[in-house]
Structure 1
């Protein structure tokens, strides 16, 4: 039995509201926790995503922003001595962004405080994995 267009629209509206609500809670959580370390939310997001040296494009993709926005954030982090630009190992025209020792230490502190009272913390690892798979599936639809 198929669902009526009205019922489908209502279900989609409710799901969109829930996804948006979770996204807002996560953004607020990151902003609050970042501020305790003297960082902006975009700076915290960049540090969180820097699990190793990255090109600016890779970092921008992980931050879900344009490379010019990532460059602005990296410039600020570089002025704070948290990241540095290095020569790319295989492309002499490119640069990679890497954490300095101070940046790596701050990233570890950041990861610790981001996990405290996270909006997704009430979900088990299995539930988080299931949610990830469902959202990934929804995003991969043409």
Structure 2
């Protein structure tokens, strides 16, 4: 059974609406949980993504933003004694971003808060895996 271009367009529009709706719910959730800890959503995102020492460029990629935006966020986190810039072990031009002990503790509190009432909590781990795979495939698809 073939579908008409019009029904395909409607289905795509509905799917885009659902993806955008989920993204908005996740953004709202992060913003609300970050505020509990006195953080902005970008600061919370940076802390969540800092799973170990990394460069500003690596953090920016994880945050899906430009390095200059990540630098602004890290500057604020550094002033709060949550992140340190250290010499990169092999690249003298780069710095490694490292969480301080206080930053690590706050990251753990943040992770616990983000897990509470997450928009994805209603999905089983298997369903989350399927959704992850489908979204990744849609994002990396060569089709236009």
TM-score per shorter chain, which class? Answer: over 0.9
Partner Cα separation in structure 2 for residue 68 and residue 126 of structure 1: 37
Instruction: Give the 4+ runs in structure 1 shifted more than 4 A.
Output: none
SS of the residue 2:97 aligns to = strand
User: Which structure 1 residue ranges, 5 or more long, are not aligned?
Assistant: none
Partner Cα separation in structure 1 for residue 8 and residue 78 of structure 2: 48
Partner Cα separation in structure 1 for residue 31 and residue 93 of structure 2: 35
Structure 1 residues 20-48: Cα deviation after superposition (integer angstroms, max 9, x where no partner): 00000000000000000000000000000
Partner Cα separation in structure 2 for residue 130 and residue 90 of structure 1: 38
Structure 1 residues 48-98: Cα deviation after superposition (integer angstroms, max 9, x where no partner): 000001100000000000000000000000000000000111111110101
1:102 equivalent to 2:102? Answer: yes
Partner Cα separation in structure 2 for residue 66 and residue 2 of structure 1: 42
1:121 equivalent to 2:121? Answer: yes
What is the CA RMSD across the aligned residues, in angstroms? 0.5
Report deviation, 1:2.
Answer: 2.0
Partner Cα separation in structure 2 for residue 101 and residue 48 of structure 1: 15
Partner Cα separation in structure 2 for residue 117 and residue 80 of structure 1: 27
Partner Cα separation in structure 1 for residue 3 and residue 124 of structure 2: 31
Partner Cα separation in structure 2 for residue 50 and residue 105 of structure 1: 12
Q: What number of residue pairs does the alignment pair up?
A: 142
The equivalent of 1:20 in structure 2 is: 20
Please show how residues 58-97 of structure 1 align to structure 2 within 5 Å: 58-97=58-97
TM-score w.r.t. structure 1 length?
A: 0.99
TM-score w.r.t. structure 2 length?
A: 0.97
The equivalent of 1:40 in structure 2 is: 40
Report deviation, 1:3.
Answer: 1.1
Partner Cα separation in structure 2 for residue 61 and residue 98 of structure 1: 16
